[in-house]
Amino acid sequence: MNNPPWPKGKKLVHLDLKGAPPRVGYLHKLIELFSQLGADGLLVEYEDMFPYEGDLKLLQATQHPAYSREEVLSMQEFAQSKGLEVIPLVQTFGHMEFVLKHGSLSSLRETASCIGTLTPHREEGLQLLMEMMKQVVELHPGVKTLHIGADEVYLLGEGEESKLWLSSPERTVEQLFLSHVTKVAGAVKAKWPNISIIMWDDMMREMSPETLKASGLVGRVQPMLWDYSPNLDVEKTVSLLEKYCSAGLSDVWAASSFKGSTCVHTCVPSTQRHLENHERWLQVAASVSAAVHLQGIALTGWQRYDHLSVLCELMPAALPSLAACLQTLILGQFSADAQRHVTERLGIPSVEVEDIGRTSADDSLFPGRRLAELTVELNALLNSDDIRFFDNNMYVRGWFSPFHRQRKMVTSLITRQIHSQASTYLATIQEKVEALKEEMVRLYPDSTAEEWIEEHVSPVVAPLQRIMEDFSACVTETQP
């Protein structure tokens, strides 16, 4: 379907730094590429990578150093030199795991078991948020827009203080949510009157226009409606945007996805899936009334589903997807011209990262290409049936089953063949892992490589290693 290009408004690339934070040199290469691909700005979600100071220093990452103040300023200056606006995102309600996981702040949780949701009832909670935002705003000189999060506020209303608050007649969880967000937005506006505020929209989707009008949010916030599905419901999404507009929230944003939204542990993205999501968003943009003022779209690239979940796809493997999605927004469709622009710009034969193959081309065309290639190769190897189901093949099940191993009842000829094959697979995997690790630590902290290998490689090689160990034990006990 041919759609008009994305209407006036910014195209933001989301940098989710709560996992796999790029080394600064690589971050600058990425920013330059984003600019060349047609982005207008960055939506930067620092979480524990921000250099919080004073009482908030405990929020900094411990598995690797947070960015320094100088590095944060350098990133902004470089982005601005490439024509990109930087919009920081600071969570203020849900997804507060990186804050509330700390024992000294646990009293600010909505419930003891949910470390992601801030209780809306404590004055010290608001003070904490304002200090977080103060430090972020001060380290972003000239910042024009701030994103305050507020998505997926799980178990809101389940805390004892919330239950007491809700016991009053006619009070609802909707009002509880709105009272906190309005308080935060009001405090931000009081301190920084010229800063525009964005917030995620999902907690407001079921609210009536009348409830939203009465909330105090009108004129203070701009909802960002997110939907990352390739099957995004265009009619329903248009209806939601029109509802926000009718409630007085006419300045709105969209949020799509170029990675990090397929499955919590995906490591190689499907460009086609993300292209379909952007094609649906173009249909939405073409269908809303003129009264809806689309301020822009954020192309999200989640690195974790939340602070405590596993890593999603790393940025190098997702660059073809990002480039294709941006071209789709710019041209209104993923045409032959769009595909040619992406493949020529990145020096690749296909927009699907699984098809890029090996090359000796200059890495500057595609920062991180070597890591993307190694990720694709290793992922394919690890997911091959021969390796993933090795301990379930005919020979292992037939002559080296747990029954045989426990009783040391083994057939030497066949078990040696099993041992030889397992040994070969392990050596091949190890060779590729070493190459991937060497490349990954050039672009990311050592801890990222360690986590990626532990997540994707260790579970696959463990059965092979057990077979090797059991073989050695059987051979030792059956020696004459």
Which positions are annotated as active-site residues? 152
Residue 296 β-bridge partners: 10, 253
Closest CA to 145 of 216, 40, 54, 238: 40
Q: What would the two tokens of residue 412 be?
A: 């030497």
For the residues of 258-284, what is the DSSP string, one character each?
EES-S-TT--S--HHHHHHHHHHHHHH
For the residues of 73-104, what is the DSSP string, one character each?
HHHHHHHHHTT-EEEEE---SS--HHHHTSGG
**In 3-state terms, what secondary structure has residue 335?**
coil
N- to C-terminal Cα separation, the chain: 74
Burial class (CB in 10 A: 0-12, 13-18, 19+), 59: buried
Phi-psi category of residue 417: left, alpha or beta, with phi > 0 → left and psi -120 to 50 → alpha:
alpha
Residue 109 β-bridge partners: 118
* The 3-state secondary structure of 374-390, one letter per residue: HHHHHHHHHCCHHHHCH
> What is d(CA 49, CA 448) in angstroms, rounded to the nearest whole number?
13
Tell me the C-alpha to C-alpha distance, in Å, between residue 388 and each of 379, 383, 405, 426, 460: 11, 6, 20, 12, 6
Pure H helices in 82-200? 97-100, 123-138, 160-166, 173-191
> What is d(CA 449, CA 456) in angstroms, rounded to the nearest whole number?
11
> What is d(CA 29, CA 41) in angstroms, rounded to the nearest whole number?
15
